[in-house]
Amino acid sequence: MSKKNISKAHENYLSSIKKRNKTIFITQIAVFVIGLSLWEVAAHFKWIDTFLTSYPSQIWRLFVNYTKNGNLFHHIGISVFETVVGFTGGTLLGFIVAIGLWWSKFWARVFDPYLVMLNSLPKTALAPIIIIWVGAGYSGIIVTAISVSIVVTIMNMYESFISVDEDLIKLLNTFGATKFQILRKIVLPSSVPALINTLKINIGLSWVGVIVGEFLVSKAGIGYLIVYGGQVFKLDIVMMSVFILAIISVLMYRIVAIVENKFNRW
Amino acid sequence: MKNTVVEINNIGMTYHSLEGETEAIKNIDLNIYEGEIVGIVGPSGCGKSTLLSIIAGLIEPSSGTVLVKGQKVCRSNRNIGYMFQKDQLLEWRNILQNVVLGLEIQGKLNSQYYEKARNLLNNYGLGDFIHSYPSQLSGGMRQRVALIRTLILEPDFLLLDEPFSALDYQTRLAISDEIGVILKKEGKTGLLVTHDIAEAISLCDRVVILSNRPATIKEIIDIKLTCPEGRNTPLGRREAPEFRYYFNKIWKELDIHV
Ligand SMILES: Nc1ncnc2c1ncn2[C@@H]1O[C@H](COP(=O)(O)OP(=O)(O)OP(=O)(O)O)[C@@H](O)[C@H]1O
Ligand SMILES: [Mg+2]
């Protein structure tokens, strides 16, 4: 479609859409700003107990302090590192196991009930055991994060692998394809959308694993800050940590979305 | 006498599952000769796709043998084109990459074949779409791409399992005409499964009528149509005076009760 030669009606249509998008964006910002202002005002006039809720300007001052002495980046760095390693590990291992299950129907059936059980089990319940076994440092936290995302990865990817059209596999067989070629030429590429969905889910799950792990053992990290803030009743530390967590998760999600767009050309 | 391409000797097939056994086909004997297109019609679920899978060597029959050019088909010597109801194009590959998929898998892909793929695409009106993705093409064009993907391998013969049935009626008429002309021009031998009696008569030299499951051959009808010179195309054949006669005959033989 060319940019030129668009009718008046179409031009109106486009500008009305643009206007609407803009209104939505402005409203979104407004909701955020009004929410924060109400919070601040309520705290200022003592409508709410700031000991329990803290308030935006206090959180901001704390944030500036933590940034200045560099502590904040230390904590963020550690948590992000643990999450990225856990996320990559969980996704990669889950992906490999799923390929194995696709390859061997026998083992897929053998492991099926175990996977169902593991999937319904809250993985965070395993965290204390994992930390005792693996060690109370980064490694324990990372393995906890892996344990949270790996089962979902296996199930999602396996589900996607076996949903490839029978006739498509038949077609490849008429070409004389080997099982490995079927995997590489059709099963894996057709599972890219499922993989991207899994990546999105795994970001959140890996954070759950890391924060739980940090609650239990760590001496640093965002989870540590939250627990510490809670223990000394400094709610501003807790609030700040939660905000930071939200921002980083969204950033990671955006990165996956960018990867997704790269694959979306067809 | 023409050369025999496919020799089907007394094939039988029984599927086993926990619910019991299903005898899908029984005592099928059929020879297919070079350059002819044989149609297969039969009631739903009678075993047509099963028969094609056996001929392609994708499943072992419970009894009997199939020889293609005098040899048993196996993975290493399989050279059979197969077309399905859905075109089975890979959405993440462009048209050219889709066309060369079979060559790529057989490790034959080289610049000569790329050239050939381009030529075929150009000849069949897809020249402008070489770098497009399947989602940008209409259903009829996609099925044409699927045909080129099959033909570029120069198969000994083609198995067509209801290749037009997913298309809307107009496209279906146009594409079946076009593909019929291409197959005749290239001198291809083929076996076409269809539910559409008119399609079978217009495209095929012989039509095999199968019974209900287990499928056996009820009758084989030679189609001899008188067409004016230059009108011996699938669409032209539909205007032949004998067309109605064959239609009624096949319809009666099929003996469909609703
Ligand atoms: N893998 C299988 N295991 C068990 N039974 C099967 C299997 N494949 C097909 N069948 C059965 O064999 C019979 C013939 O199936 P087939 O797909 O060959 O029929 P068809 O004539 O191609 O049907 P349609 O007209 O629907 O395309 C059916 O009853 C089907 O349920
Ligand atoms: Mg079928």
Q: Are residues A42 and A127 in the same domain?
A: no
Same domain, A144 and A115: yes
Which of B54, B73, B88 is best to mutate for the A interface (most A CBs within 10 A)? Answer: B88
Touching check for A117 and chain B: CB below 8 Å? no
Domain extent, residue A142, equals: 61-262
Q: Please say whether the beta carbons of B51 and B28 come within 8 A.
A: yes
pLDDT of residue B162: 92
Selecting from B80, B92, B134 the residue whose C-beta is nearest the C-beta of A189 gives: B92
| Neighbouring residues of the ion ligand 2, judged by CB less than 5 Å | B 49
Contact A175 B84 (CB under 8 A): no
Q: How many domains does chain B have?
A: 2
- Pair A111, A32 in one domain: no
In this structure, is residue A56 part of a structural domain?
A: no
Indicate whether B142 and B167 sit together in one domain. Answer: no
Question: Is the per-residue pLDDT at A146 higher than 90?
Answer: yes
Q: Rounded to a whole number, what is the distance in Å from the CA of A14 to chain B's nearest CA? A: 24
Residue A2 has pLDDT above 70, yes or no: no
For residue B194, how far is its CA from the centre of ligand 2 (angstroms)? 9
Residues B140 and B181 placed together within one structural domain of the fold: no
Same domain? For A12 and A93 the reply is no
> Is A54 inside any structural domain?
no
Cβ atoms B226, B204 nearer than 8 A? no
Query: In this structure, are B60 and B185 located in the same domain?
Result: yes
Q: How many helices, marked H, and strands, marked E, lie in chain A?
A: 13, 0
C-alpha to C-alpha distance for B18 and A55, rounded to whole angstroms:
66
Angle at B143 between CA B137 and CA B147, to 5 degrees: 125
* Digit-coded pLDDT (tens) for B180-232: 888 888 888 999 999 999 999 999 999 999 988 888 999 899 988 888 777 78
Model pLDDT, residue B88: 93
Classify each residue of A161-180 as buried b or exposed e, where b means 16 or more C-beta atoms within 10 Å of its C-beta. Answer: beebeebbbbbbbbbbbeee
Q: Does B59 touch chain A (CB under 8 A)?
A: no
Answer yes or no: do B165 and B47 share one domain: yes
Q: A139 and A221: one domain? A: yes
**3-class DSSP state for residue B124?**
coil
Same domain, yes or no: B39 and B111: no
Residue A3 lies in a domain: no
Which B residues 25-44 touch A at CB under 8 Å? Answer: none
- Quote the pTM value: 0.86
The residue of chain B with its CA nearest to that of A164 is: B88
Lowest mean pLDDT among B2-6, B123-127, B253-257: B253-257
Q: Are residues A103 and A233 in the same domain?
A: yes
If asked whether residues B162 and B244 sit together in one domain, one would say yes
Whether B42 and B166 map to the same domain: the answer is yes
Is 60 exceeded by the pLDDT of residue B256?
A: yes
**Claim to verify: residue A18 and residue A76 sit in the same structural domain:** no
Chain B residues with CB under 8 Å of A195 CB are none
Q: Looking at the structure, tell me whether residues A70 and A38 fall in a common domain.
A: no
Residue B62: which CATH number?
3.40.50.300
Range of the domain at B93: 88-154
Q: At what angle do helices A138-162 and A192-217 cross, to 10 degrees?
A: 160
Same domain, A113 and A198: yes
Q: How many domains does chain A have?
A: 2
State residue B94's pLDDT score. Answer: 92
Q: Which of B154, B182, B199 is the last residue of a domain?
A: B154
Residues B118 and B21 grouped into a single domain: no
Q: Do A38 and A89 reside in the same domain of the chain?
A: no
Token pair belonging to B37:
């297109």
* Residues β-bridged to residue B72: B67
Contact A250, A66 (CB under 8 A): no
Supply the CATH number for residue A202's domain. Answer: 1.10.3720.10
The first and second tokens of residue B250, run together, are 């096949």
Among residues B120, B154, B188, the one where a domain terminates is B154
Q: How far is the CA of A238 from the centre of ligand 2 (A)?
A: 63
**Residue A88 at interface with chain B, using a CB cutoff of 8 Å:** no
Q: Are B24 and B15 in contact (CB under 8 A)?
A: yes
Contacts of B105 in chain A (CB under 8 A): 172, 175-177, 181, 185
Last residue of a domain, one of B154, B172, B204: B154
pLDDT computed for residue A4 by the predictor: 63
Cβ separation B90–A265 shorter than 8 A: no
Three-class secondary structure assignment of A113-154: HHHHHHHHCCHHHHHHHHHHHHCCCHHHHHHHHHHHHHHHHH
Residue A113 at interface with chain B, using a CB cutoff of 8 Å: no
Distance CA B71, CA B4 (A): 12
- Are A131 and A19 in the same domain? no
B88 with A190: Cβ contact below 8 A: no
* pLDDT score of A37 more than 80: yes
The answer on A105 and A165 residing in a single domain is: yes
Ligand 1 pocket member B194 (CB < 6 A): no
pLDDT for A259: 86
Q: Is residue A1 part of a domain?
A: no
**Residues of A with Cβ-Cβ distance to B101 under 8 angstroms:** 175, 185
Is residue B62 located within the same domain as residue B14?
yes
CA distance A194 to chain B (A): 14
Residue A137 lies in a domain: yes
Percent of chain A with pLDDT over 90: 72
Could you report the per-residue pLDDT of B145-185, keeping only the tens digit for each? 999 999 999 888 899 999 988 888 888 898 889 888 888 88
Mean pLDDT confidence for A109-125: 92
pLDDT tens digits for B36-71? 999 999 988 888 999 999 998 889 999 999 998 888
Same structural domain for residues B187 and B60?
yes
Residue type, A149: S
| Whether the predicted pLDDT of A85 surpasses 80 | yes
Residues B216 and B95 both lie in one domain: no
Q: What average pLDDT does this structure show over A100-127?
A: 92
Q: What is the mean pLDDT of chain A?
A: 91
**Same domain flag for B63 and B117:** no
Size of interface A-B (CB pairs under 8 A): 53
pLDDT at A124: 87
Please say if the pLDDT value at position A208 is more than 70. Answer: yes
- Which chain B positions have a beta carbon within 8 Å of A266's beta carbon? 91-92, 133-135
Alpha carbon of B214 to ligand 2 centroid (Å): 14
Query: Is some CB atom of chain A closer than 8 A to the CB atom of B81?
Result: yes
pLDDT above 70: percentage of residues in chain A:
98
Q: How many angstroms is it from B48 CA to the middle of ligand 2?
A: 6
